[in-house]
Chain A
Amino acid sequence: GAGVSQTPSNKVTEKGKYVELRCDPISGHTALYWYRQSLGQGPEFLIYFQGTGAADDSGLPNDRFFAVRPEGSVSTLKIQRTERGDSAVYLCASSLARNTEAFFGQGTRLTVV
Chain B
Amino acid sequence: AQRVTQPEKLLSVFKGAPVELKCNYSYSGSPELFWYVQYSRQRLQLLLRHISRESIKGFTADLNKGETSFHLKKPFAQEEDSAMYYCALSGTGTASKLTFGTGTRLQVTL
Contact = CB atoms under 8 A, between A and B. Distances in A.
A90 interface: no
A106 B43 CA distance: 5
Contacts, number: 56
A98 B102 contact: no
A43 B93 contact: no
Q: Is the interface of B mostly helix, strand, loop or mixed?
A: loop
Interface in A56-113: 56, 91, 93, 95, 98-107
B70 interface: no
A99 B94 contact: yes
Contacts of A104: 43-45
A98 B101 contact: no
Given A42-B86, A56-B97, 6 more contacts: A33-B97, A35-B98, A43-B44, A91-B44, A100-B96, A102-B95
Interface residues of B, number: 19
Nearest to B32: A99
Contact of A100 (B44, B95, B98): B95
Contacts of B103: 41-42
Given A99-B94, A102-B95, A43 B43 contact: no
Given A101-B46, A106-B43, A42 B97 contact: no
Interface in B89-110: 93-103
B77 interface: no
B59 to A, nearest CB: 16
A3 interface: yes
Contacts of A35: 98
Nearest to A102: B96
Nearest to A3: B43
B45 A42 contact: no
A20 interface: no
B45 A99 contact: no
Nearest to B99: A45
Given A40-B102, A42-B101, A105 B94 contact: no
B97 A45 contact: yes
A31 interface: yes
